[in-house]
C-alpha cells in the first residue's frame, strides 16, 4: 500500500496511475485546490480518496510501503498572494513526517529547482541556497525538517528538486501550469503566447513521466536520507521552446513580449543530475521535442 498526498493533482495523479497499473493499493489525499478527481479517471476504483489537506494523513491507519508527499502548494505566485501558505506547507510537512515516524515508512517528497534562484547553472545540490521568496523558504524548510527527522528519529526520506515539470493533466492548475502547457493552450487556439522579458531566459523542462520514474526509484532506494535534482540537464530558452511548439503544431505564431517586472525572477535553470544518476539510477529519457509531441497528441485526442 502507498499513500500519495496531492494524488489528484498533476504530478501526484501520474504517480497514482503508474502505481495502479501494478495493482498496488493506494490512498490519495487531496484538497482539490489545483487537482481534480478527473485526473484519477480510470483508476478511481483502486483508490481510497480522502478529500482533505495533507495533514489528514494521520487518518490512514495502515502502514504504507512508502508515502509520496506531492500535496504542497506548488507555485511561487500562490505564496506571494498568500504568504501564510509558507507556514501551511511547513505544518503539513511536519504532519507527514510524524506519520512516517509513527509508521516507520519511507517518505519521498517534492521540492523545487526554484531553490537555485540567483545561482548560476548548472545547479548542484551542494549549492548554498539564497533567500529569494516565500515559496523557496517553504521548500527549503521542508528539506531541513526531513533531515532533522532523520537525525533525531531515523525517518528515511528523499527530497526531489523538480525542474520545470510539464505534461498531460495540467488543465486544473490553470494559470499555475508550466509555460509549455500554457503556451500550447494559447497557440492551439491561434493566440500568441505572452512572454515576460526577451524570451532568452532558460528552463530545464522535464517531462512528467520522467519525474514519476525518479519518485519510484527514490521509494525503492536504500538511501536513508538525500536531496536530488530531477531534471534533464539541458537548458532551453523560452524562445526555443516556442519555436518547438510552432514546429510541432505546424504554425508560425510569434510571441508577444512584455516587460518583466518581477523582482526575484528566476533567469536560468539547468540541473546537474550526476548525483541522481549515481545514487538513484535516475536519468531523464524524454527530450522536450518528444514531450511536446506527446502533449499535443493528448490534447488533440480530447478535442
Whether cis (ω within 30° of 0) applies to the bond prior to 52 is no
Q: Which segments within 82-147 are labelled E, that is strand?
A: 106-112
pLDDT in tens, 122-138: 999 999 999 999 999 99
Supply the pLDDT for residue 130: 96
List C-alpha distances in Å: 262 to 76, 133, 183, 239, 273: 11, 11, 19, 19, 28
pLDDT in tens, 239-272: 999 999 999 999 999 999 999 887 778 889 999 9
Q: Cβ-count burial of 294 within 10 angstroms (0-12 exposed, 13-18 middle, 19+ buried)? A: middle
Per the model's pLDDT, the better-predicted residue between 300 and 148 turns out to be 148
In angstroms and rounded to an integer, the radius of gyration of the C-alpha atoms of the chain is 19
Residue 171: band (very low, low, confident or very high) from pLDDT cuts 50, 70, 90: very high
Supply the pLDDT for residue 293: 98
Reply yes or no on whether the pLDDT at 186 is more than 80: yes
Q: What is the rounded distance in angstroms from the CA atom of residue 242 to the CA atom of residue 187?
A: 9
Question: What percentage of the chain reaches a pLDDT higher than 70?
Answer: 100
CA 260 to chain centre: 24
Supply the pLDDT for residue 261: 83
Q: What is the rounded distance in angstroms from the CA atom of residue 222 to the CA atom of residue 194?
A: 45
Reply yes or no on whether the pLDDT at 140 is more than 90: yes
- State the pairing for strand pair 47-50/26-29: parallel
Question: What percentage of the chain reaches a pLDDT higher than 90?
Answer: 91
* pTM higher than 0.95: yes
The label of the residue with cell 540537464 reads 233
Q: 103: which 3 cell numbers?
A: 509508521
List C-alpha distances in Å: 184 to 134, 142, 190, 249: 28, 32, 10, 9
Domains present along the chain, CATH in parentheses:
2-166+206-232+271-284 (3.40.50.720)
Q: What would the mean pLDDT of 115-128 be, rounded to a whole number?
A: 96
Q: CB–CB of 153/208 below 8 Å? A: no
Write the CB contacts of 282 (distance below 8 Å, at least 6 apart in sequence). Answer: 213, 214, 217, 228, 230, 273, 276
Supply the pLDDT for residue 215: 98
Supply the pLDDT for residue 75: 86
Residue 23: band (very low, low, confident or very high) from pLDDT cuts 50, 70, 90: confident
* H or E segment and range at residue 68: strand 66-69
Q: What would the mean pLDDT of 78-88 be, rounded to a whole number?
A: 95
Supply the pLDDT for residue 136: 95
Q: Cβ-count burial of 39 within 10 angstroms (0-12 exposed, 13-18 middle, 19+ buried)? A: buried
Catalytic residue among 99, 135, 149, 207: 135
Nearest Cα to 169, choosing from 71, 74, 50, 295?
A: 295
Supply the pLDDT for residue 111: 98
Residue 74: band (very low, low, confident or very high) from pLDDT cuts 50, 70, 90: confident
**Whether 99 is catalytic:** no
The label of the residue with cell 548542484 reads 124
- State the pairing for strand pair 26-29/2-5: parallel
Alpha helix stretches (DSSP H) within 65-133 = 76-81, 85-103
Reply yes or no on whether the pLDDT at 170 is more than 90: yes
Which residue(s) pair with 166 in the sheet? 207
Q: 155: which 3 cell numbers?
A: 525517518
Q: What is the rounded distance in angstroms from the CA atom of residue 4 to the CA atom of residue 21?
A: 15
Amino acid at each position: 500500500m502507498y499513500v500519495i498526498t496531492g494524488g489528484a493533482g498533476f504530478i501526484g495523479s501520474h504517480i497514482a496511475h503508474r502505481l495502479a497499473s501494478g495493482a498496488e493499493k493506494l490512498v490519495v489525499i487531496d484538497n482539490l485546490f489545483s487537482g481534480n478527481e478527473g485526473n484519477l479517471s480510470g483508476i478511481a476504483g483502486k483508490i481510497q480518496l480522502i478529500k482533505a489537506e495533507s495533514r489528514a494523513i494521520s487518518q490512514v491507519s495502515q502502514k504504507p510501503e512508502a508515502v509520496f508527499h506531492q500535496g504542497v502548494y506548488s507555485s511561487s505566485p500562490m505564496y506571494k498572494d498568500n504568504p501564510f501558505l509558507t507556514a501551511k506547507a511547513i505544518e503539513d510537512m511536519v504532519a507527514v513526517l510524524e506519520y512516517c515516524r509513527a509508521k516507520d515508512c519511507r517518505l519521498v517528497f517534492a521540492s523545487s529547482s526554484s531553490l537555485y534562484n540567483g545561482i548560476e547553472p548548472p545547479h548542484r545540490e551542494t549549492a548554498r541556497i539564497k533567500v529569494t521568496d516565500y515559496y523557496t523558504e517553504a521548500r527549503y524548510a521542508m528539506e531541513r525538517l526531513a533531515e532533522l527527522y532523520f537525525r533525531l528519529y531515523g525517518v528515511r526520506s528523499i527530497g526531489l528538486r523538480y525542474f520545470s515539470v510539464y505534461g498531460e493533466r495540467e488543465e486544473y492548475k490553470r494559470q499555475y501550469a508550466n509555460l509549455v502547457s500554457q503556451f500550447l493552450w494559447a497557440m492551439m487556439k491561434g493566440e500568441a503566447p505572452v512572454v515576460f522579458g526577451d524570451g532568452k531566459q532558460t528552463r530545464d523542462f522535464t517531462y512528467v513521466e520522467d519525474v514519476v520514474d525518479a519518485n519510484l526509484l527514490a521509494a525503492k532506494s536504500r538511501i536513508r536520507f538525500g536531496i536530488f535534482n530531477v531534471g534533464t540537464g539541458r537548458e532551453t530558452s523560452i524562445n526555443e521552446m516556442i519555436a518547438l511548439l510552432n514546429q510541432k503544431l505546424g504554425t508560425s505564431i510569434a510571441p508577444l513580449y512584455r516587460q518583466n517586472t518581477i523582482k526575484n525572477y528566476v533567469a536560468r535553470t539547468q540541473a546537474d543530475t550526476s548525483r541522481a544518476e549515481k545514487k538513484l539510477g535516475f536519468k531523464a529519457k524524454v527530450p522536450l521535442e518528444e514531450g511536446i509531441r506527446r502533449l499535443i497528441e493528448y490534447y488533440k485526442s480530447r478535442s
